[in-house]
Amino acid sequence: MSDDTHVKLLIIGSGPAGYTAAVYGARAMLNPMLIQGMQPGGQLTITTEVENWPGETEIQGPDLMVKMESHARAMGAEVVTDIVTKLDLGRRPFTAECDSGARITADAVILATGAQARWLGLPSEERFKGFGVSACATCDGFFYRGREVLVVGGGNTAVEEALFLTKFASKVTLVHRRDSLRAEKILQNRLFKNPKVEIVWDHELAEVTGTEDPLGVSGAVLTSVKDGGTRRIAVDGVFIAIGHAPSSELVKDQLDLHSGGYVKVEAGSTRTSIPGVFAAGDLTDHIYRQAVTSAGMGCMAALDAEAWLAERDEAGEPDPAGAELPEQAPAG
């Protein structure tokens, strides 16, 4: 990719939404460019078994993402590994500046940057992050073979992480601040039946404890939400599984957001508050957050972008960048 490139359709982010948008965009002859970031495939690359993807009774998350990327390339999409550091949506063509120094202008943009793990914000959590504190059991679970670990959370993410960790750990303690879980019932049933799992209800993680030299986790302090009492438990690892935050930093001051940073789209579409900019996947979906719904939104975004570009072409719309130039005063 040259330092300065113009494309009709720019897709930022990969995962099911981005790759599906690339497939549909390429089929519509929009010659899309997809910038996939440093974690091609997004959250599914740190997921093990995927059992709810239609047509696959079981497939590994990374394998599914490799297939999607290959599909997008086969359809003719240009897939680039880079990071968009700045995105200007204030005028068209829209402009993206990348970490590599590349500058891309685009007639339409699809945002599919997904979401990232949330953290509790504890000083001790930050101190031991990467040294016993993790937000990815798939990434780090292997290191806790035969050891005891703690998982914080009560939704699907927490239960899935806890179940995965039972493959390695001798014991998994799940801490939840309520007296019931929010996870899907089928996941809860699996969790309750697993003999390696202990659940501590109505408690929060107050502190991660450990050694400084070498840096490592040795325990955790839990606080009761009912009476404020504390209890200490010995664990070798702490996994934070309290959900995800939308990766909307690029557009937080440019697009309308809702529900803690998710990009707001028009009902029944992927259109954002700026014409020509579309959003799909976990970046905009705070309810379903499934691979299959993200893929569906990626399809919608590409079709919305195709329709919007066609309307502009039919209307013979002038270049907005040129239209915004101030009028020159007559000479003399």
Q: Active site residue: 4, 139, 179, 319, which one?
A: 139
Q: Active site residue: 140, 236, 285, 304, which one?
A: 140
- 108-121: b or e for each residue (b if 16 or more CB lie within 10 Å)? bbbbbbbbbbbebe
- Give dist(CA 248, CA 109) in Å, integer: 14
- Is 253 catalytic? The answer is no
- Give dist(CA 55, CA 49) in Å, integer: 14
Amino acid sitting at position 8: K
Distances (CA, A) of 253 to 21, 90, 273, 280: 24, 11, 12, 18
Strand spans (E) along 112-236: 115-117, 133-134, 148-152, 171-175, 197-200, 203-212, 215-224, 230-234
Segment holding 107, helix H or strand E: strand 103-111
- Is 98 catalytic? The answer is no
- Is 139 catalytic? The answer is yes
Strands 244-246 and 115-117, sheet pairing: antiparallel
Residues with a catalytic annotation lie at: 136, 139-140
